[in-house]
Amino acid sequence: MRRDGFTLIEILFATMILSFGLISLMSGVSNCALMMTLSAEYQKAQYVFSLGELKYPIDDSDDVEEDLPVDPDDELVEGYTFERTVDEKEEETGVVDDKLYTVRTRVSWGTGEDQFEELVRYVLQKEFK
């Protein structure tokens, strides 16, 4: 008795191996697409940081709390919001005010709750005599 071709079991095993390979390939491609999307969002957020710093520069100021804060601005790039807040450094009791402020610059996109980039820096208020 002569048999040409494959048995049903051999075809099932070959199909199963092929399907596992295709599944792993597709999950890799979808992860790659997700990473590319996230990378593009963070790159655009850096661009919005740059535009915001050009539009609202941090200059020497005699009133940091009044001059540096920026209300949320969503007109720089569609879908992204630029904002800046200023907080006075926590003072210890009995310490003279050193005019050091914490400046938080934030770019958010999407819902803004979990997708944001924040830059924190310290600014010393200039004193005019």
The DSSP annotation for 53-65 comes to HHHS-----S-HH
DSSP-assigned letter for residue 115: -
pTM of model > 0.85: no
pLDDT computed for residue 64 by the predictor = 83
Closest CA to 81 of 45, 38, 37: 45
- pLDDT > 60? residue 99: yes
**Mean pLDDT value of segment 23-36:** 96
Output the CA torsion sign for 56, 58, 59, 64. Answer: positive
Q: With pLDDT > 90 as the criterion, what percentage of the chain qualifies?
A: 59
Read off the tokens for 60: 């020497």
**Range of weakest confidence among 8-17, 24-33, 113-122:** 113-122
pLDDT above 70: percentage of residues in the chain: 89
| pLDDT, tens digit (0-9, with 9 covering 90-100), for 62-96 | 788 888 899 999 999 999 999 999 987 666 655 65
* Average pLDDT, rounded, for the chain: 87
The pLDDT of residue 87 is: 86
Q: What is the secondary structure of 38-99 as a DSSP string?
A: HHHHHHHHHHHHHHHHHHS-----S-HHHHS-EEEE-SSSTTEEEEEEEEEPPPPTTPPP--
